[in-house]
């Protein structure tokens, strides 16, 4: 029943009545009206040139980090080439450049000529001659190339052979006569220097002996008092120690009426952390409005307008009512705006003095 279907009939689409009916149905459509109403619900509206909007825009510009910090690459700046800072930076770069520092050395290294009579060059040549394997074998190669005729019955060969036999017999008899009647060898291995050395080397290279000495001496530690590390640690401990840093003053008794005591007490009161914190806690939560702020000016302007309106009302009443002037003559009072910034500031000062 809610959705009542209309009867179907055929009408020309160019008919004026058909167009008017469609237009009226669109305007009177409850569905479209409710959709617009639901869309507008909860949407706040504020004029673009209102004081609050302008205040927020101005605050956003003041707090904007991008506008406050200007990028260096956006600044148009050209360095003067003959300025002292520019020349100093250029010379510093040339002096600190490793490539330029090595370039001069590399160029001079390939263009240096050593004198022939220099002692170092002469000594190097002699060392090369002594070390050279080719020169060492040259004389032998020359002798071998020339040839050598050596026969077994030659006089030098026979002389050398006889001398060898004579020397061998003489040395043998000399050693035999020297050792005759003496004991050969040693009583034990420690009497022989070589055997004693071999035994000592064996002990040093023995793994069991090394471990035995290690387990016996591992709990022992020896440190000299004059070592640099030990002295440095003592000095560091003295610097870190809190005992020498916090040196307590001695306690003494003096007259309480002395001027120095009074001055010290007054200084301690001024420096008292307790009073500082009490003032801080008292100031917490107290609102403060600067005299030239937007809200103060707006309130003062509203008070001035209200005061001007009251004065106009009084003037009009005096013009129409002659008895009103007589009433006001007996009670002449100076009218003061209670919402003025100066009055509010004096009230705040009185409140602070009463709390202290």
- In the chain, the percentage of residues whose pLDDT exceeds 90 is 3
- What does the pLDDT average to over 258-263? 85
- What does the pLDDT average to over 291-308? 81
Q: Is the pLDDT of residue 58 over 80?
A: yes
Tokens coding 319: 């013009």
Q: What is the pLDDT of residues 273-284, one digit of tens each?
A: 776 777 777 777
Q: Is the pLDDT of residue 221 over 70?
A: yes
Contacting residues for 195 by C-beta, under 8 A, at least 6 apart: 186, 189
Q: What is the pLDDT of residues 245-254, one digit of tens each?
A: 666 666 667 7
Instruction: Give pTM, 2 decimals.
Output: 0.17
Measured CA to CA, the distance from residue 33 to residue 27 in angstroms comes to 9
304 and 312 Cβ atoms separated by less than 8 Å? no
- pLDDT value at position 40? 75
Q: Which of 26-40, 319-333, 342-356 has the lowest mean pLDDT?
A: 319-333
DSSP string, 110-148: TS----TT-HHHHHHHHHHHHH-HHHHTHHHHHHHHH--
CA Rg value for the chain: 59
- pLDDT value at position 206? 80
Name the range with the highest mean pLDDT among 23-27, 148-152, 167-171, 193-197.
Answer: 193-197
> What is the maximum alpha-carbon separation in the chain?
181
- pLDDT value at position 184? 65
Q: Is the pLDDT of residue 51 over 50?
A: yes
Q: What is the pLDDT of residues 305-324, one digit of tens each?
A: 888 877 776 777 666 665 55
Three-state SS annotation for 219-247 = CCCCCCCCCHHHHHHHHHHHHHCHHHHCC
Name the range with the highest mean pLDDT among 15-24, 273-282, 329-338.
Answer: 15-24
- What does the pLDDT average to over 80-89? 87
Phi/psi for 31 (5° steps) reads -65, -45
Higher pLDDT, 300 or 70: 300
- pLDDT value at position 25? 82
Task: State the alpha helices, DSSP H only, in 180-293.
Answer: 193-205, 207-217, 228-240, 242-245, 259-270, 273-283
- What does the pLDDT average to over 212-220? 83
Measured CA to CA, the distance from residue 98 to residue 234 in angstroms comes to 43
Tokens coding 69: 């910090």
Measured CA to CA, the distance from residue 253 to residue 234 in angstroms comes to 38
190 and 196 Cβ atoms separated by less than 8 Å? yes
Distances (CA, A) of 311 to 182, 300, 304: 153, 17, 11
Q: Is the pLDDT of residue 131 over 80?
A: yes
């Amino acid at each position: 029943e809610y959705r009542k279907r209309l009867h179907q009939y055929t009408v020309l689409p160019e008919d004026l009545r058909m167009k008017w009916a469609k237009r009226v149905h669109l305007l009177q459509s409850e569905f479209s009206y409710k959709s617009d109403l639901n869309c507008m619900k909860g949407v706040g509206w504020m004029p673009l040139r209102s004081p609050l909007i302008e205040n927020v825009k101005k605050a956003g510009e003041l707090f904007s980090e991008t506008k406050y910090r200007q990028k260096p690459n956006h600044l148009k700046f050209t360095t003067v080439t003959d300025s002292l800072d520019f020349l100093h930076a250029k010379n510093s770069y040339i002096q600190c450049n490793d490539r330029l520092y090595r370039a001069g050395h590399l160029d001079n290294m390939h263009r240096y000529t050593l004198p022939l009579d220099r002692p170092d060059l002469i000594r190097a040549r002699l060392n090369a001659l002594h070390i050279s394997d080719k020169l060492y074998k040259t004389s032998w190669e020359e002798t071998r190339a020339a040839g050598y005729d050596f026969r077994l019955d030659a006089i030098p060969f026979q002389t050398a052979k006889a001398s060898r036999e004579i020397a061998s017999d003489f040395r043998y008899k000399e050693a035999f006569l020297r050792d005759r009647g003496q004991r050969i060898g040693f009583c034990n291995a420690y009497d022989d220097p070589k055997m004693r050395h071999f035994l000592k080397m064996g002990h040093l290279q023995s793994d069991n002996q090394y471990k035995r000495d290690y387990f016996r001496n591992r709990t022992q530690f020896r440190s000299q008092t004059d070592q640099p590390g030990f002295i440095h640690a003592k000095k560091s401990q003295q610097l870190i120690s809190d005992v020498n840093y916090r040196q307590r003053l001695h306690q003494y008794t003096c007259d309480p009426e002395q001027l120095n005591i009074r001055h010290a007490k007054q200084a301690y009161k001024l420096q008292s952390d307790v009073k500082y914190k009490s003032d801080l806690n008292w100031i917490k939560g107290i609102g403060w409005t600067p005299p030239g702020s937007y809200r103060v000016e707006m309130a003062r302007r509203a008070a001035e307008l209200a005061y001007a309106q009251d004065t106009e009302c009084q003037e009009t009443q005096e013009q129409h009512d002659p008895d009103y002037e007589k009433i006001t003559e007996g009670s002449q009072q100076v009218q003061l705006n209670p919402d003025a910034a100066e009055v509010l500031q004096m009230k705040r000062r009185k409140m602070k003095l009463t709390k202290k």
